[in-house]
A and B are shown apart, each in its own frame.
Chain A
Amino acid sequence: DAGITQSPRYKITETGRQVTLMCHQTWSHSYMFWYRQDLGHGLRLIYYSAAADITDKGEVPDGYVVSRSKTENFPLTLESATRSQTSVYFCASSEASNEQFFGPGTRLTVL
């Protein structure tokens, strides 16, 4: 859906570098989420946000930081990338009691 975008779509980085993945939605949805997808694990929640300036940890938050200064943006930062953070990252948004809409994903490789 054009309403939620992620950038970059592909990223290769090195161990120890800081990386920021961007997520932008145009629906003004209150809720936003970051997931990582790894074979055999499905989609695991990293962080979520209920509104601007309200964020909380999900199932696998270690090594990640988020912020949400504006409703439409929800960047995810890997402070010091590790090989175990190689994954496909999906951002999603939703409004109360409704489905989550996913972005196209970012494929991150940490060498």
Chain B
Amino acid sequence: GENVEQHPSTLSVQEGDSAVIKCTYSDSASNYFPWYKQELGKRPQLIIDIRSNVGEKKDQRIAVTLNKTAKHFSLHITETQPEDSAVYFCAARDSGGYQKVTFGTGTKLQVIP
């Protein structure tokens, strides 16, 4: 099955700096890569996603890049703000018909004011 590794497990940045979270996946047939943000005590919520036919996608201060050859994808947050503090999960969905998604183990991002 799919295996997703995520690094780092914790990340502290100063407000206004950029944050980068990296993930690798094992199944070359995976075709959809969502990123979820989970605030303390809340449910995970999708913040951005990318499909395998696209190399980069941007939405305001967040962007995701995908390197299919290396089986690697990354989340970039620019101009970080205290409200960006949360746990971020990357995920990969396999190509099977059941929409199964495998999650990374999460990155706890702390933005220091």
Contacts and interface: CB of A to CB of B under 8 A. Distances in A.
Task: Note whether A and B form a binding pair.
Answer: yes
Nearest to B6: A42
A22 interface: no
B18 interface: no
Task: Specify which of A31, A43, A48 lies most central, judged by the most chain B CB atoms within 10 Å of its CB.
Answer: A43
B106 A42 contact: yes
B34 A90 contact: no
A75 interface: no
Interface residues of B, number: 21
A97 to B, nearest CB: 7
A50 B98 contact: yes
Interface string A33-68: 101000011111100101000001011000000000
Contacts of A50: 97-99
B65 interface: no
- In the complex, which range does the number of interface residues on chain A fall in? 20 to 34
A100 B106 contact: no
With most chain A CB atoms within 10 A of its CB, the pick from B42, B43, B97 is: B43
A104 B43 contact: yes
Interface in B70-111: 89, 97-106
A59 B1 contact: yes
Interface string A79-110: 00000000000100010110110111100000
Given A42-B106, A50-B99, 17 more contacts: A31-B98, A33-B101, A40-B105, A41-B105, A42-B105, A43-B44, A44-B103, A45-B101, A50-B98, A56-B98, A59-B102, A96-B99, A97-B32, A97-B99, A99-B46, A100-B101, A105-B43
19 contacts: A33-B100, A35-B103, A40-B105, A42-B6, A42-B89, A45-B100, A45-B101, A45-B102, A48-B98, A50-B98, A59-B1, A96-B99, A99-B34, A99-B49, A100-B101, A102-B43, A102-B44, A104-B43, A105-B43
